[in-house]
């Protein structure tokens, strides 16, 4: 039986529904499912292009690599696992005290809403993400809201993941 999650940009009131890819990423799906619901500040990617994400406390049960990609497509939902030293650099712009500066590292839950994404960071090189879900409902509305984040800023926006 398929499992689903909802992903919401809370301030903008936009929600999509994604199907977990249990056959392709069973360990990642279970690790995420077990910690839901989660919510945090929304960020629009600087490097990856059409990505919006939130940082949550590190999901240590998640595998480092499972169903990885460096070229996510529209509708992909990915998990990135970061050690503390990987994203705590002040050049990334995360506020002191945010999940990015947590001693245990952080988990990045991300959605991709458009084409031509490339997960390449100038500081560290390729940054593969585990594709663990696919957005099946609400992607056009979510993409419009994500473009609004890009053009008008993310201040005050939060992103929530929950079981559907």
pLDDT in tens, 30-77: 999 999 999 999 999 988 899 999 999 999 999 999 999 999 999 999
Predicted local confidence at residue 100, as pLDDT: 67
Residue 67 to residue 50: CA distance in whole angstroms: 20
Extents of the domains making up the chain: 2-161
Tokens of 90: 């002040």
CATH (one of 2.40.100.20, 3.60.21.10, 2.40.160.20, 1.20.200.10) for 2-161: 2.40.100.20
- Over 90: is that where the pLDDT of 8 sits? yes
Query: Does position 110 have pLDDT exceeding 90, yes or no?
Result: yes
In sequence order, what are the residues at sequence separation of 6 or more whose Cβ sits closer than 8 angstroms to the Cβ of residue 91? Answer: 123
- Going by C-beta distance under 8 Å and a sequence separation of 6 or more, which residues neighbour residue 117? 48, 49, 50, 51, 71, 72, 73
Grouping H, G, I as helix, E, B as strand and the rest as coil, residue 51 is strand
pTM metric for this prediction = 0.94
Residue 31 has a pLDDT of 98
């Amino acid at each position: 039986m398929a499992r689903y999650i909802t992903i919401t940009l809370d301030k903008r009131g936009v929600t999509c529904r994604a199907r977990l890819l249990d056959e392709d990423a069973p360990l990642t799906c279970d690790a995420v499912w077990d910690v839901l619901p989660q919510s945090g500040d929304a960020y629009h990617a600087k490097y990856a292009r059409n990505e919006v994400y939130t940082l949550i406390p590190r999901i240590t049960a998640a595998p480092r690599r499972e169903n990885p990609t460096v070229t996510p497509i529209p509708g992909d939902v990915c998990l990135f696992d970061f050690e503390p030293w990987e994203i705590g650099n002040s050049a990334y712009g995360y506020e002191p005290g945010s999940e990015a500066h947590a001693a245990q590292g952080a988990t990045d839950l991300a959605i991709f809403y458009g084409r031509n994404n490339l997960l390449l960071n100038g500081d560290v090189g390729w940054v593969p993400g585990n594709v663990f879900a696919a957005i099946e409902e609400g992607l056009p509305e979510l993409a419009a809201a994500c473009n609004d984040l890009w053009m008008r800023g993310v201040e005050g926006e939060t992103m929530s993941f929950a079981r559907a």
